[in-house]
Structure 1
Amino acid sequence: MKNVTVSAEQSLGLFAHKAGAKVIANQGSVEVRAQHSRLEMSADQQFTVTSSKDEITISTPKTLTLNGGGSYLKLSESGIEHGTNGDFITKAARYQVPMAGANMQCEPPVFDKTTLELVPTESNGVMSR
């Protein structure tokens, strides 16, 4: 079997009650998209994002907020805001503050409207394409 495609007109759910669930691509990319709504990921315990050979980029055209224990870092077009009820400690071999502003363009992906092509229920016993 070379390809397996699953599609649903209304909703699709996957649930593992007693053990874990994995999505692994040995050679290609893995894409997870919410094309016209929100994407939520959460964990009861540790949540880890790792790149073993390259960088990690998180971007948004609006506001990015990192919140840890109530201390936060908020990045937006209007500036950078740090907040904490504790100590604010900066550690660096060198600390430079150039007098010119700088920014980086944020190019969010475009999600075009899609249509659903229904597959006949009887496909000569073939369940994938």
Structure 2
Amino acid sequence: MKNDDTADEWTDVLPRTAPTIHRNLDVTVGGRTLTTLTRTQLSYWISKLQYTRGGPFMTVSRPGHPEFIQTYRHSDTDYYLEIRSPDSRDELASTTLRDGESAAELIWDWLEGRGSRLDARQRDDS
């Protein structure tokens, strides 16, 4: 069967390990709003931040939860990552990263409920 978008062949078989999909999210990247993310999609969208019309931000949150995580690309090599609460103007955690893949790793950790790498980065930044 042909894939309409690429004209390449495709099969209806899942990979050995199906990707983790985070659903029911509020994701804003550039001028787009998304509700699901896989790890691959997260890396893709962060890599495109310099090219988005809505600005170089990506914000990820869960409906009904007060905090959100966002990254801002402010140069070819620097990404500023922060966790915020809409109830406060203060950031809960932040760090500057030198590449988009590092930002994607920390956002994915946040989605997975793992904060140890971001905590370690903050200690190193202090």
TM-score calculated relative to the size of structure 2: 0.29
Higher-Rg structure is 1
The answer to which structure has the higher strand fraction is 2
The answer to which structure has the higher helix fraction is 2
TM-score calculated relative to the size of structure 1: 0.28
